[in-house]
Amino acid sequence: MEPTIVQLDSHRIACHLSGRGTPLVCIHAPCIGSVNFDYQEPLADVCQLVVPDLPGHGDSSPLAGPTTMRELASVIHGLCQSLGLERPLLLGYSQGASLVLEYCLRFPENVRGAILVSAFSEVTDFSLHSRFLLAQSLSCLHAAPLIARSIAASHLDDPLARSRWIEHGSQTDAASLRHLYAAGHRYNCTDQLSQLKLPMLLVYGADDANMLPYARLLEKKLPQAELVMVPSVKHQVVTRAAAAFNQLCRQWLMNKKRGEKDCLRPFTPLLLRISFSSAGQAHPAIRPRSG
């Protein structure tokens, strides 16, 4: 399906639209593009999926120079206004979740809530620092195809899906990619998280050990956050655990429409919600129900 092209003041944004109902704007990680959410297409039966390509990806125009999360949030806001989306929900994956946090901080009156997957509000650990530095170095070498192949291999087993991700990611503008990685690497909104009074669903892979401190931080700082750990998966929840993740999103969206304060009840048997002790150990708070 051909994307809808939205012309903003200084950006051309390609956007894929499907489904009807409450808009769910999905923000991808760098060097993946809109294909990041191919496996979430089944959610179009409960909402309108709005999946843009960030600047430099797909048919979207490249960045003119260095950028910030604040500027990128303005681009997404302009897109939502141009499409006539009134208070959409947002879904962000990995660095895309950082952009969702910035959007919610800048435009809280224009968003209903957010789903944050494998999210971080700042980069504090050596592993994530290293990955950002490597990605920025490779983007300086115009190695988007190499980055795209590595990302596709870590997220997918299906050869056709891999090929689609590689083809889309390999077209990413090298300069834009470098600027996006730099913006994500230096972003830090941790001290502002307490300002967010919006419903937030936090989703992490239970085996994604390096991200657990970020999960603990966001659960603690966000006033209306609900945390779910998806068993037997690492960072790549949206693809490696797509069925469980989609079921969780569908349930959260439908319960939210009904106005339930706890959007995760009744709790799905596929997932495990946890809370953290002060020592950082994970302890089951609600065990999956049988039947």
User: According to the model, what pLDDT value does residue 105 have?
Assistant: 98
Tokens 């870590």 locate to 154
Q: What is the DSSP string of 121-154?
A: SS--SHHHHHHHHHHHHHHHTT-HHHHHHHHHHH
User: According to the model, what pLDDT value does residue 257 have?
Assistant: 76
pLDDT along the chain (291 residues), means of 10: 89 96 97 98 96 98 97 98 96 98 98 98 97 97 97 98 98 98 98 97 97 97 96 97 96 80 50 43 34 30
Indicate the residue type of 150: S
Joined tokens for residue 247: 């079921």
User: What 3-state DSSP class applies to 248?
Assistant: helix
Tokens 């899906």 locate to 161
Closest alpha carbon to 48 in 76, 18, 73, 74: 18
Contacts with 54 (C-beta within 8 Å, 6 or more apart), sequence order: 27, 28, 30, 33, 60, 72, 75, 180
C-beta neighbour count of 66 within 10 angstroms: 12
User: According to the model, what pLDDT value does residue 265 have?
Assistant: 54
User: According to the model, what pLDDT value does residue 277 have?
Assistant: 38
Answer left, alpha or beta for residue 94, where phi above 0 means left and psi between -120 and 50 means alpha.
left
User: According to the model, what pLDDT value does residue 281 have?
Assistant: 42
User: According to the model, what pLDDT value does residue 263 have?
Assistant: 57
